[in-house]
């Protein structure tokens, strides 16, 4: 699988995904035993960030270091991208200097297009560190964490992806969309709860329904937060912006930004608090990609409860990153 790109796991077979999970689990066991493994010794990963990052940046850089390689932490202002360098030139040049390229670009209607342009011209693996449509690195870590708690047979495990109010910024659609696509492929019963002004992209939902039908999973959409969370095994409260509401007509201008903000303020009650979470199963797990908008998306009482597995989930970003780099850059 060397030289294979990862922009979305929709381009990967289940066998390839399971191979990645097996490698990641093995590396985690070895890491816990303080074993030193350097399969990527003297190899280089170029990481280009168009936005801020905590888990993604540090998990990939730590993974490269622990595997014996080095990661360059780059931003567009450090490169000629800021002066208009083409995606072809960037891809071709970096391909001559290292063994992998990773990019985070979440700008709506720009990010995924840019990553695909780089992938087209790159002679080394291109890894998406998140774009405006997909976040593969998050969903693979989520899945590994779920398997650790629920086992490999996940058929009929109910996962609730719940839109939540937040004030920090208009977050991308990429995390819930990747979960909606990925989890049904493994037989999970996925429910997405959201106000009508905050849908996911239509084409993603249609593909997610196909994935569910093909693999014995389920996909349910509801605008009722109580109905969404009822009897859930796993609850993932997460804000996302109303980009899907505008579809391909969305442009980042004052009019649409005001509409999004007005829509957001209608739904301050969409918070995962103790009362709402009590509708899930008694031993239900709380997950979150982080950073959480505490007190808006979810209360501290729930997020820091014994039901929360958010830090296991965050740690698995490291182990799945190690597995991915070993698989693609060996």
**For the chain, how many structural domains are there in total?**
2
Indicate if 153 and 291 belong to the same structural domain.
Answer: yes
Does 196 map to a domain? Answer: yes
Indicate if 237 and 300 belong to the same structural domain.
Answer: yes
Tell me how far apart the alpha carbons of residues 286 and 302 are, in angstroms, rounded to a whole number. Answer: 8
Q: Is 271 exposed, middle or buried (0-12, 13-18, 19+ CB in 10 A)?
A: buried
pLDDT for 79: 87
Does 233 map to a domain? Answer: yes
Indicate if 181 and 216 belong to the same structural domain.
Answer: yes
Q: What is the dihedral of CA 2, 108, 202, 115, to 10 degrees?
A: -20
pLDDT for 170: 78
Indicate if 63 and 113 belong to the same structural domain.
Answer: yes
Low-confidence ranges of the chain (pLDDT < 50): none
Does 3 map to a domain? Answer: no
Indicate if 325 and 307 belong to the same structural domain.
Answer: no
pLDDT tens per residue across span 39-82: 999 999 999 999 889 999 999 999 999 999 999 999 988 888 88
pLDDT for 245: 84
Indicate if 33 and 69 belong to the same structural domain.
Answer: yes
pLDDT for 249: 58
Neighbours of 263 (CB within 10 A): 16
Structure tokens at 305: 């409860």
Indicate if 43 and 179 belong to the same structural domain.
Answer: no
Describe the strand order of the beta sheet including 234-238 as a list of residue ranges.
Answer: 218-222, 189-193, 158-163, 234-238, 285-286
Indicate if 214 and 243 belong to the same structural domain.
Answer: yes
Indicate if 242 and 196 belong to the same structural domain.
Answer: yes
Structural contact between residues 317 and 24, judged by C-beta atoms closer than 8 angstroms: no
Indicate if 293 and 175 belong to the same structural domain.
Answer: yes
Structure tokens at 237: 């409260």
Does 119 map to a domain? Answer: yes
Indicate if 96 and 153 belong to the same structural domain.
Answer: no
Host domain of residue 100:
9-135+315-329
CATH of the domain at 194: 3.40.50.1370
Does 252 map to a domain? Answer: yes
pTM comes to 0.94
Q: How far is CA 283 from CA 48, 169, 279, in A?
A: 40, 31, 11
Indicate if 199 and 278 belong to the same structural domain.
Answer: yes
Does 4 map to a domain? Answer: no
Does 2 map to a domain? Answer: no
Does 242 map to a domain? Answer: yes
pLDDT for 49: 96
pLDDT for 258: 81
């Amino acid at each position: 699988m060397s030289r294979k790109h990862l922009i979305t796991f929709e381009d990967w077979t289940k066998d390839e995904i399971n191979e990645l999970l097996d490698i990641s689990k093995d590396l985690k066991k070895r890491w816990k035993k303080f074993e030193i493994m350097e399969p990527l010794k003297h190899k280089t990963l170029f990481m280009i960030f168009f936005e801020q990052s905590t888990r993604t940046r540090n998990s990939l850089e730590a993974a490269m270091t622990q595997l014996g390689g080095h990661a360059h932490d780059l931003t567009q202002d450090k490169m000629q991208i800021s002066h208009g360098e083409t995606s072809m030139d960037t891809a071709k040049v970096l391909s001559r200097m290292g063994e992998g390229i990773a990019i985070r670009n979440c700008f709506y209607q720009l990010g995924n297009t840019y990553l695909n342009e780089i992938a087209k011209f790159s002679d080394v693996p291109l890894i998406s560190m998140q774009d405006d449509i997909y976040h593969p690195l998050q969903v693979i870590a989520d899945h590994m964490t779920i398997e650790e708690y629920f086992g490999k047979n996940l058929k009929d495990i109910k996962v609730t992806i719940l839109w939540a109010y937040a004030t920090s910024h208009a977050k991308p659609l990429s995390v819930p969309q990747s979960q909606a696509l990925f989890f049904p492929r493994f037989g999970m019963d996925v429910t997405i709860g959201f106000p009508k002004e905050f849908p996911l992209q239509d084409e993603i939902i249609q593909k997610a329904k196909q994935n569910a039908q093909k693999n014995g999973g389920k996909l349910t959409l509801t605008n009722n937060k109580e109905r969404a969370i009822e009897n859930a095994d796993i609850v993932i409260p997460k804000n996302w912006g109303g980009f899907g509401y505008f579809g391909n007509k969305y442009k980042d201008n004052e009019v649409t930004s005001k509409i999004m903000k007005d829509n957001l303020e209608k739904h301050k009650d969409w918070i995962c608090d103790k009362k709402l979470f009590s509708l899930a199963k008694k031993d239900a797990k709380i997950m979150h990609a982080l950073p959480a908008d505490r007190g808006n998306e979810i209360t501290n009482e729930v997020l820091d409860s014994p039901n929360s597995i958010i830090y296991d989930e965050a740690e698995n970003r490291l182990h799945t990153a190690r597995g991915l780099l070993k698989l693609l850059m060996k």
